[in-house]
Structure 1
Amino acid sequence: MTTQAQLDDRYGRTRSPRRRIVLWSVVGVVAVALTVALGWTTVANNLASVTSTDTGFAVTDAERVTISFQITAPVGQPVACAIEAQDEEHGTVGWRVVEYPASEDHTRAFSEEIPTLALATTGFVNSCWVP
């Protein structure tokens, strides 16, 4: 009677230790490559990101609101920000895109005035980006 081990030997179905080592080596290399790629993507996205912090607003009258804010951006890159004024029902009553030239400062503070269509109750930075 023929055993399973004899059949495996006869038809080449044995698993050699070398085959297992090669398989796990390939799996390890792929895992390391994916980890490095994910890490690089995260770092590259953070290097080019722009963050803003609202520091205050002042409603001048029914036609103007002044917004104060700080931005943190990559050094040597121009920055654009969309600033917005809203009324008490959170409707947009003023909107403006402001652009700032490149600077050697990482963090900068600004104060901008937005013309409004009605009395605003708040003003803030909607978003900032590197154009």
Structure 2
Amino acid sequence: MTTALELDERYGRRRRSRASWIIGGAVAVVVIIIASWVTVSQSIDTVDADDLSFELVDERTVTVRFQVTTPQGRDMACAVEALDEEFGVVGWKIVQIPAADTPMQQLTATVPTVAQATTGLVNSCWPL
């Protein structure tokens, strides 16, 4: 009768030692810890902006109301845009948002335009 050891030697299979399984497991744990830290550190500075409304004041001005959720105690900035009917940018403004005690703030930005706009929105926000 052929034993498992003889079959392993015949077909070139090697048995893994217990140490290799321990090292492989330790490497996997380290990779999971690093991936978790990267995810958490990126979400700490996450800024979320939601458009609430816009008003076409006149042919050269749009007012945009928006809400931002920011990390407490951090200064922020948002790019607010005015778009025409073909979704071309006809005006934009960078809005500086000072640090606040609450994570959620509602703001209003008046954006000057070079042509008639049909909408206004927040393009993006970032921590300063």
> Which category describes the TM-score, using the shorter chain as reference length?
0.7 to 0.9
- Equivalent of 2:18 in 5, 18, 21: 21
Listed as ranges, the gaps of 5+ residues in structure 2 are none
- Tell me the residue number matched to 2:85: 88
CA RMSD in angstroms, aligned pairs only? 2.0
TM-score by length of structure 2 reads 0.87
Q: Show structure 1 runs of 4+ deviating over 3 A.
A: none
Aligned residue pair count: 120
Listed as ranges, the gaps of 5+ residues in structure 1 are 9-14
- Tell me the residue number matched to 1:61: 58
Between the aligned partners of 2:48 and 2:74, the Cα distance in structure 1 is: 13
- Equivalent of 2:116 in 114, 119, 129: 119
Larger radius of gyration: 1
- SS at 2:17 equivalent: helix
- Per-residue deviation at 1:100? 1.1
Fraction of identical pairs, as percent: 41
- Per-residue deviation at 1:101? 1.0
Between the aligned partners of 1:31 and 1:78, the Cα distance in structure 2 is: 38
- Tell me the residue number matched to 1:12: none
